[in-house]
Structure 1
Amino acid sequence: MIDVQDHLGLAKLQAGRIYKKFQLSYRYDFDDILQMCHVGLIKAAQKFDKTKGYTFSTYALSLMYGYVLNTILRDKYYPSAERNGSLNSHVLSLDINVNNSMDKEVTYKDAIMDKQEFYTEFTGILVRTALEKLPSKHREVIKLRYFQGKTQMQIAKLFGTSQTTIGRFEKEGLTKLRRYVS
């Protein structure tokens, strides 16, 4: 087994090379890189096989380099606007009033519709429009079933027919509804 303590200088050398090469000072300081190299050195000591014909230092340098790069790439670091200096001074507050022609004070926050709210509203309009195209029995079954929460048995009693017939109306209505919507 290789003694890691004997090769700490190798880790420091590799950390210096990596730090200088990639200029990571905005993200990692030298001690962070050195620590990653120490972990890479430990992994190299555990995995080293002298029968392959490599020297330990050659193997350890490549393993430390790979470990540091993998750690940095896995980190998924996204620099903040303050850190990378691109903070724009023209930032608008969502609470600023927007002039509108109805003499009503509206803020940007009020004017911006939530994406989910938009899709919900749009889908509702689409379904209501498609629902009006269905035959009356299919439309009534779907309204009772999905908007009023009635069971097929309850709807069958209202219509004076069997649950099977209501199930068929429901299935046919949903198929037509999907076709109209898509």
Structure 2
Amino acid sequence: MAYQTTLQSQSMELLVSYQQEPSVRLRNRLVRLNMGLVRKVAHRLANQCAEPYEDLEQCGYMGLITAIERFDPTQGYAFSSFAVPYIRGEILHFLRDRANTVRVPRRWQQLSREGAKVRQALTMELGRQPSDQEIADALDLSMNEWRSVKLAASNRTPLSLNARVSSSNHQQSESAMTLGDTLTDTHYQILQVNEEDRIELQHALNQLEDKTREMIESVFFHHLSRQEVAKRIGVSPVTVTRRIKKGIDELVELLQNQAQAQATV
């Protein structure tokens, strides 16, 4: 415990020095001091994937360096709490890049490779493309399982967003809709939801007593301190805090009533 406290203290001193005057030498010392964070995260994730532990550890060090570069000692929180999300995020980013878009059972991956070899051999032997039944028989599989293997293999490769979407009458045209055209604009949806929330909040705010609404808007919208608001309005900071709490309770009730009213429409 005493060792851990000393280590944290030493790390913080170096982090303060690094922020004041960054250098490769200080950064490398900080990396060595915090190697245990990387190893802990890498070991935990290594048990959840098939990638080598050493690769995960190297990615973790990249995340640790990023954390060192971005850490602000004046904020008052522990470096370990700040660094772990960066370490974990860098490793997970690596795993996402390495993973297939669609997870296929290992047995089916092996059968798909064997099926390709059988198809090639049967084509040379028969002088034509073999049927699915012939390939399934050669692999000692049922037709249903072989079709599942084929479907899984074909679905591992993502479709292009420019791929044409067939219409019901199967007519092809230059203006045919693409797969990308069918996707919703997530950014627009978020903006729309945010605007609807803003309108509902403003409607609820307008129903509050004027001075209470002014206090809430000053603190949460204009980022004034309660002391500044109290001085401007001419009341005590305690009064501002009390009025804001009461106003927020009223806002919650008003917004709940609005939501219930919309649900019944």
TM-score by length of 1: 0.47
Greater relative CO (CA pairs within 8 A, separation 6+): 1
